[in-house]
C-alpha cells in the first residue's frame, strides 16, 4: 500500500476496482487477485469482540490494512496491537504506529480524526451513538457490533447518524450476523413472499447459564471498573435482553419487516446475587472502593436475569421473547408461525410450502464483513443503521415494559420517552461513576 | 334468579325422582340424601372466608330448594358471618383443621362447598367423595403433583358413585365463553397455532402476623403467600386463564412447560415466599407454543384475558371471533359465579351429575408445572412431571394449628430443588 495515499485517493481507487469487480462472481476473490485497493481500518474497542471482529475483517478482504486502535485502557490497546503484529497471517497488514494508539474516554474522538476509511466499533454499547456520529461526521464507514445503544436517546442518536451516513454515502453494517447468512436470507425471502401465509405468532429465545463478572485492577477508578465490568450495568450494556437477545429479536423483526407496535413484559433479578462467584468479586470490589463489604450489592451490578416479553406487531401478531441468565434449561433460537406453516427462521419451512435450504452455508460473522467491504468498493453502500437502531429499541422497549410493569408502545418510545441513561461526555471525562438501583418491576415510566 | 321463582315443589320432586331412578339403574352405590325423601339440597360449607361466603350465597341464589345447613372453618371467627347469614345452629358449626370431616360426616348434608386454601383441597375432596357428597370446589384444586393425583382418583371414584363435582372456574359456565368456545372447538378459527393468556394485576390482601399466632395459624390466615397453601399466584389465580387455553385445545394437556419468574417487588416477609411474576411457555401438541404471564405488583398494567389464534382467525375466547368466520356474542350475559351452581344442582337433580374433577385437576397441574419450571428454570415434559416429579406439599394428617413451620426459602434457580429432577441425570448446564 502506498503510504502517501490519502483517504480520497484510496477510496476512489476502491470505487474503480469495484466497477470491475461488480461484474464478477466474487468480489472477495477479485480483490485478492488484484492485490490492491487498500481500505484502512481503525478498531474501537479492543476486548474479545473487537479482537474477533478485526480478525474477521482482515479475513474478509486482503485489501484491509489496520492503521489505528483505540480502547478505554492503554494496556488493552497495546496488547491488542502487539498480538496482531505477531500474527503470521496478517504480516504487512498491521501498520499501527504509537501515534495511532488511543485510549481514554475520548479515544473515539481521536480515532475519528485519523486517516482510516472504516472503523470497527466494539466497545460497550452505551457509547455507540456518539461514536457513530463522530465517525460519520468525519467521513468514516462503520462496522458496529450490536446492540447500538442502551437507552432511547442512544437509539435516536444512531438513527440520526444513520440518516447522515445516507446523505454522505457512508456504509454502516452491524454485527447481527444472521442477516448475512445465506440460508436465512433465502428463507426470509420466502417468508416475505408468503410461504407461511400471514404471520400470526412467533417466539425467540436466548437463555444462557451466565456471563463473566470482572473485578477491579489496580489503578482503575470506579468508573473504569464499571466500564470493564460493563455487562452488569444497564446503562452500559442495556441488560442481557439488549446485549445478547437482540440477535433473536432482530430475526423476529426481520420476519415482520419492522419493529413491534406494543410491548408487555415481566421479569426480575432472582439469581445473580445468589451466584457465589459474583458475590465474592462484588465484595472484593466493594472493599477496594469503600474499605468494607457492607455495600457489596451496589457493586454486584443492576441488570436483571430474566425477562419474559410479549411483542405485538402492527398486524396484531403476538410473539414471545424469552431471555435471561441462570442455571436451568438453556435456549437460543427463533420460530415464526403463519397461517400456512411455520419456520425455524434458519433453514426450514414446514406446512403447505415446506422447504429446506440446500445451498451453501456461510459464516455470518465473516460474511457481514465481506458484504460491507464489497458494498464500500462498489460505491453502493449498505446502511443497516436505522434497522439495528430499531432492533435495539425493540429490546429496550421490552426492558422498559419489564422494569416499569407498564405496557409500552413503539410510538411512545419514539415520540414521548425521555429516557437517557448514559452520562454526558463531560461526566465521563471527569470519571464520575454511575449507579442505578435494581429495577423494581414498577419503576416510573420515563 | 329465574329458577328460584319458576321451579315448583312438585317439579323439584319430579326431577329428584328421575335422578334417583337413573341412579338406581346405573347401580350407583352412594345413596343421595335428597332422594331419600327430601327435595332440598342441603349444603355444608367448608372454608367460610371470602370465597366460601361468596360461593354459599351464589349456591343458594342459584336454584330453589338449597339450604346451607353446616359450616366448617379452621377459625371460629371466620364462621360468624355465614352462621348469621343462614341461621346455622351452633351444633352444626365446626371449627379446627379437622372440622371438614365433621361436616362431611353429617348424613343430611348432600353437597359440600370446598373453599379452604387449595393446599387442603385434595384431602377434603377425597373425604367428601368417600362420604358420598356432591362437591362444588373452588379452584385451584391442588398445589403439587401428589395432590393432583388425589384429586384425579377422587374424581374417578365420584364417577363410579354418581356424584357431581363442579369447580369454580366459572368461565366454563359463562354464556359468552361457552358460546365462543363451542365455535372455536367446531373449527371457526381453524387449527390453533398460537395462544396467549394473562392475569396481570396489582396486589392482594395480606394478613400480617399477630403476636399470638403460631407459624401454622399465621400461614393459614395469610395463605395466599405460601406455596403449600395457595400454590403461588400462578396456581391460585392464573389457573382460570390457563384453563381457558386448555379448553380451546380440546382439554388436551400441553406437552412441555418452560417458565421464568421471580419476586422482584413484593419482597417483605409478610408476603411469605411466593413470586410476584411468572412467564411460562406451554407447548401443546404439534409444537404449538403459547404465552402465559401473571403478575401481582401494585401499580402495574392490568390484563386478565385470553386470546387464541388459528389458521382462519382468532378469538378473545369471550365474545368475539375475527377472521373468516367473524362473529360476536349477542346473547344474554349471566352471572357465572351463580351459573356454575345452577349447572351443578341441575345436573344432580337430572341424575346426570357433572364431573369436572379431572379437567380442573389438569388445568391446576399446568399451573403447578409452570410454577415449578419457573422456580427451577428447567424446561420439562408433562409426562416427566406427572410420572417422576415427587413434589408433595400435602398437609400432614396430624397437622396442628400450634405447629411450627418455618417459611420456605424463596426459590432461586440453581438452589431450588425440583423433587425428582436429579434422578433424571440431566442436571442443568451453567
Please compute, for residue A369, the number of CA atoms within 13 A of its CA located in the half-sphere on the CB side.
Answer: 23
Contact between chains at A266 and B261 (C-beta distance less than 8 A): yes
Ranges of chain A with pLDDT below 50: 1-36
Contact between chains at B430 and A210 (C-beta distance less than 8 A): yes
Which of B19, B61, B47 lies closest to B163 in space, CA to CA? Answer: B19
Nearest to A405 among B262, B297, B376 (CB): B297
Contact between chains at B377 and A269 (C-beta distance less than 8 A): no
Neighbours of A137 (CB within 10 A): 14
CA distance A46 to chain B (A): 27
Contact between chains at A320 and B278 (C-beta distance less than 8 A): no
CA B319 to chain centre: 23
Chain B residues close to A318, C-beta within 8 Å? 194, 196, 291, 307, 309
Cβ atoms B277, A268 nearer than 8 A: yes
Which of A72, A128, A127, A131 lies closest to A104 in space, CA to CA? Answer: A72
Q: Which residues contact A415 (CB under 8 A, 6 or more apart)?
A: none
Interface check B160 vs A, CB under 8 A: no
A143 CB burial (10 A radius; 0-12, 13-18, 19+) = buried
C-alpha cell at B372: 415449578
pTM: 0.91
Task: Please tell me which residue of chain A has the smallest CA distance to B322.
Answer: A316
H/E element, B83? helix B76-86
Q: What three-state secondary structure class fits B44?
A: strand
Q: Please state the ipTM of this predicted complex.
A: 0.91
Interface check B382 vs A, CB under 8 A: no
Contact between chains at B303 and A267 (C-beta distance less than 8 A): no
First to last CA, chain A: 51
Q: Which residue has the cell 490519502?
A: A6
pLDDT tens per residue across span A144-177: 999 999 999 999 999 999 999 999 999 999 999 9
The angle at the Cα of A375, spanning A369 to A380, to the nearest 5 degrees, equals: 160
A199-209 burial code (b ≥16 CB/10 A, e <16):
bbbbbbbbbbe
pLDDT tens per residue across span B376-430: 999 999 999 999 999 999 999 999 999 999 999 999 999 999 999 874 445 444 3
CA distance B291 to chain A (A): 7
Alpha-carbon gap, residue A431 to A222, rounded angstroms: 8
Contact between chains at B295 and A405 (C-beta distance less than 8 A): yes
Strands B303-310 and A306-312: unpaired
DSSP state, residue A194: T
Q: Which residues contact B130 (CB under 8 A, 6 or more apart)?
A: B104, B157
Which of B332, B360, B371 lies closest to B247 in space, CA to CA? Answer: B360
C-alpha cell at B131: 362420604
Chain A residues close to B298, C-beta within 8 Å? 442
Alpha-carbon gap, residue B181 to B192, rounded angstroms: 12
Interface check B236 vs A, CB under 8 A: no
Strand ranges of the sheet holding A408-409, from the earlier edge strand across to the other edge: A355-356, A348-351, A341-343, A331-338, A199-208, A318-325, A306-312, A262-268, A408-409
A247 CB burial (10 A radius; 0-12, 13-18, 19+) = buried
Alpha-carbon gap, residue B366 to B379, rounded angstroms: 13
Alpha-carbon gap, residue A277 to B310, rounded angstroms: 47
C-alpha cell at A433: 461513576
Beta bridge partners of A144: A121, A174
Peptide bond into B140 cis (omega under 30): yes
Alpha-carbon gap, residue B54 to B338, rounded angstroms: 10
A–B CB contacts, 8 A cutoff, strictly below: 152
- Give residue B39's pLDDT: 79
Strands B288-296 and B192-201: parallel
C-alpha cell at A207: 437463555
Chain A residues close to B299, C-beta within 8 Å? 405, 442
H/E element, B51? helix B50-62
Beta bridge partners of A120: A43, A143
Q: How many residues does chain B have?
A: 430
Tell me which residues of chain B, numbers 305 to 364, contact chain A at a CB-CB cutoff of 8 Å: 307, 309, 311-312, 314
Alpha-carbon gap, residue A144 to A225, rounded angstroms: 23
Alpha-carbon gap, residue B97 to B223, rounded angstroms: 14
Q: What is the DSSP string of A416-441?
A: T-----SPPHHHHHTT-----PPP-S
Ranges of chain B with pLDDT below 50: 1-37, 423-425, 427-430
Contact between chains at B262 and A269 (C-beta distance less than 8 A): yes
Amino acid at each position: 500500500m502506498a503510504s502517501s495515499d490519502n483517504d480520497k485517493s484510496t477510496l476512489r481507487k476502491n470505487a474503480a476496482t469495484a466497477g470491475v469487480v461488480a461484474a464478477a462472481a466474487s468480489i472477495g476473490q477479485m480483490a485478492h487477485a488484484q492485490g490492491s485497493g487498500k481500505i484502512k481500518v481503525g478498531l474501537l474497542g479492543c476486548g474479545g469482540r473487537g479482537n474477533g471482529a478485526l480478525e474477521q475483517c482482515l479475513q474478509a478482504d486482503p485489501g484491509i490494512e489496520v492503521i489505528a486502535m483505540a480502547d478505554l485502557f492503554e494496556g488493552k490497546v497495546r496488547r491488542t496491537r502487539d498480538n496482531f503484529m505477531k500474527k503470521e497471517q496478517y504480516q504487512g497488514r498491521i501498520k499501527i504506529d504509537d501515534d495511532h494508539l488511543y485510549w481514554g474516554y475520548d479515544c473515539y474522538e481521536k480515532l475519528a480524526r485519523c486517516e482510516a476509511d472504516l472503523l470497527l466499533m466494539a466497545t460497550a454499547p452505551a457509547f455507540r451513538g456518539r461514536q457513530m456520529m463522530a465517525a460519520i461526521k468525519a467521513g468514516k464507514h462503520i462496522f458496529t457490533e450490536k446492540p447500538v445503544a442502551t437507552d432511547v436517546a442512544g437509539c435516536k442518536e444512531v438513527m440520526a447518524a444513520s440518516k447522515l451516513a445516507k446523505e454522505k454515502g457512508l456504509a454502516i453494517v452491524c454485527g447481527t450476523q444472521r442477516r448475512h447468512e445465506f440460508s436465512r436470507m433465502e428463507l426470509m425471502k420466502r417468508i416475505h413472499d408468503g410461504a407461511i401465509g400471514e404471520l400470526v405468532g412467533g417466539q425467540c429465545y436466548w437463555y444462557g447459564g451466565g456471563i463473566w463478572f470482572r473485578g477491579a485492577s489496580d489503578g482503575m477508578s470506579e468508573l473504569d471498573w464499571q466500564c470493564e465490568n460493563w455487562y452488569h450495568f444497564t446503562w452500559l450494556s442495556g441488560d442481557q435482553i439488549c446485549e445478547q437477545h437482540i440477535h433473536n429479536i432482530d430475526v423476529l423483526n426481520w420476519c415482520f419487516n419492522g419493529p413491534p407496535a406494543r410491548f408487555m413484559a415481566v421479569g426480575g433479578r432472582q439469581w445473580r446475587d445468589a451466584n457465589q462467584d459474583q458475590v465474592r468479586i462484588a465484595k472484593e470490589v466493594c472493599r477496594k472502593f469503600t474499605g468494607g463489604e457492607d455495600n457489596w450489592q451496589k457493586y454486584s451490578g443492576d441488570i436483571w436475569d430474566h425477562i419474559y416479553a410479549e411483542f405485538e406487531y402492527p398486524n396484531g401478531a403476538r410473539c414471545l421473547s424469552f431471555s435471561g441468565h441462570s442455571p436451568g434449561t438453556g435456549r437460543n433460537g427463533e420460530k415464526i408461525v403463519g397461517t400456512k406453516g411455520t419456520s425455524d427462521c434458519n433453514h426450514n419451512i414446514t406446512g403447505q410450502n415446506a422447504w429446506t435450504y440446500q445451498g451453501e452455508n456461510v459464516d455470518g460473522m465473516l460474511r457481514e464483513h465481506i458484504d460491507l467491504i464489497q458494498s464500500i468498493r462498489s460505491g453502493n453502500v449498505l446502511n443497516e443503521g436505522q434497522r439495528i437502531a430499531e432492533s435495539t429499541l425493540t429490546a429496550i422497549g421490552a426492558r422498559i415494559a419489564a422494569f416499569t410493569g407498564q405496557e409500552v408502545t413503539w410510538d411512545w418510545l419514539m415520540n414521548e420517552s425521555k429516557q437517557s441513561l448514559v452520562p454526558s461526555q463531560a461526566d465521563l471525562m471527569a470519571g464520575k461513576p454511575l449507579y442505578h438501583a435494581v429495577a423494581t418491576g414498577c419503576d416510573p415510566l420515563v | 334468579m329465574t329458577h328460584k321463582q319458576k321451579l315448583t315443589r312438585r317439579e323439584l320432586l319430579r326431577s329428584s325422582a328421575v335422578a334417583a331412578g337413573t341412579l338406581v339403574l346405573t347401580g350407583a352405590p352412594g345413596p343421595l340424601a335428597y332422594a331419600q325423601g327430601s327435595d332440598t339440597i342441603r349444603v355444608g360449607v367448608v372454608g367460610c372466608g371470602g370465597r366460601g361466603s361468596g360461593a354459599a350465597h351464589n349456591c343458594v341464589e342459584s336454584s330453589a330448594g338449597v339450604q346451607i345447613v353446616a359450616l366448617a372453618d379452621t377459625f371460629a371467627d371466620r364462621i360468624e358471618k355465614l352462621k348469621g347469614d343462614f341461621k346455622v345452629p351452633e351444633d352444626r358449626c365446626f371449627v379446627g383443621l379437622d372440622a371438614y370431616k365433621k361436616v362431611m360426616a353429617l348424613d343430611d348434608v348432600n353437597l359440600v362447598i370446598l373453599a379452604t386454601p387449595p393446599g387442603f383441597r385434595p384431602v377434603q375432596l377425597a373425604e367428601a367423595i368417600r362420604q358420598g357428597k356432591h362437591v362444588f370446589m373452588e379452584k385451584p384444586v391442588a398445589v403439587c403433583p401428589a395432590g393432583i393425583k388425589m384429586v384425579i382418583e377422587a374424581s374417578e371414584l365420584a364417577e363410579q358413585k354418581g356424584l357431581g363435582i363442579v369447580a369454580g372456574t366459572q368461565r366454563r359456565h359463562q354464556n359468552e365463553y361457552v358460546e365462543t368456545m363451542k365455535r372455536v372447538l367446531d373449527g371457526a378459527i381453524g387449527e390453533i397455532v398460537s395462544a396467549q393468556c394473562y392475569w396481570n394485576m396489582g396486589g392482594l390482601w395480606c394478613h400480617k402476623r399477630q403476636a399470638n399466632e403460631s407459624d401454622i395459624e399465621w400461614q393459614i390466615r395469610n395463605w395466599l403467600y405460601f406455596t403449600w397453601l395457595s400454590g403461588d399466584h400462578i396456581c391460585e389465580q392464573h389457573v382460570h386463564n390457563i384453563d381457558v387455553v386448555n379448553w380451546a385445545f380440546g382439554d388436551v394437556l400441553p406437552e412441555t412447560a418452560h417458565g421464568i419468574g421471580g419476586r422482584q417487588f413484593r419482597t417483605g416477609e409478610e408476603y411469605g415466599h411466593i413470586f410476584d411474576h411468572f412467564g411460562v411457555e406451554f407447548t401443546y401438541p404439534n409444537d404449538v407454543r403459547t404465552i402465559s404471564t401473571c403478575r401481582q405488583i401494585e401499580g402495574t398494567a392490568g390484563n386478565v384475558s385470553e386470546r387464541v389464534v388459528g389458521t382462519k382467525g382468532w378469538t378473545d375466547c369471550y365474545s368475539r371471533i375475527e377472521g373468516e368466520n367473524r362473529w360476536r356474542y349477542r346473547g344474554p350475559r349471566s352471572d357465572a359465579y351463580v351459573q356454575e351452581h345452577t349447572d351443578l344442582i341441575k345436573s344432580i337433580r337430572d341424575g346426570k351429575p357433572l364431573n369436572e374433577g379431572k379437567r380442573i385437576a389438569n388445568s391446576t397441574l399446568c399451573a403447578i408445572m409452570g410454577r415449578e419450571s419457573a422456580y427451577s428454570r428447567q424446561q420439562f415434559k408433562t409426562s416427566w412431571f406427572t410420572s417422576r416429579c415427587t413434589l408433595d406439599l400435602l398437609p400432614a394428617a396430624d397437622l396442628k394449628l400450634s405447629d411450627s413451620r418455618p417459611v420456605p426459602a424463596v426459590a432461586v434457580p440453581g438452589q431450588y430443588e425440583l423433587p425428582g429432577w436429579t434422578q433424571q441425570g440431566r442436571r442443568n448446564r451453567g
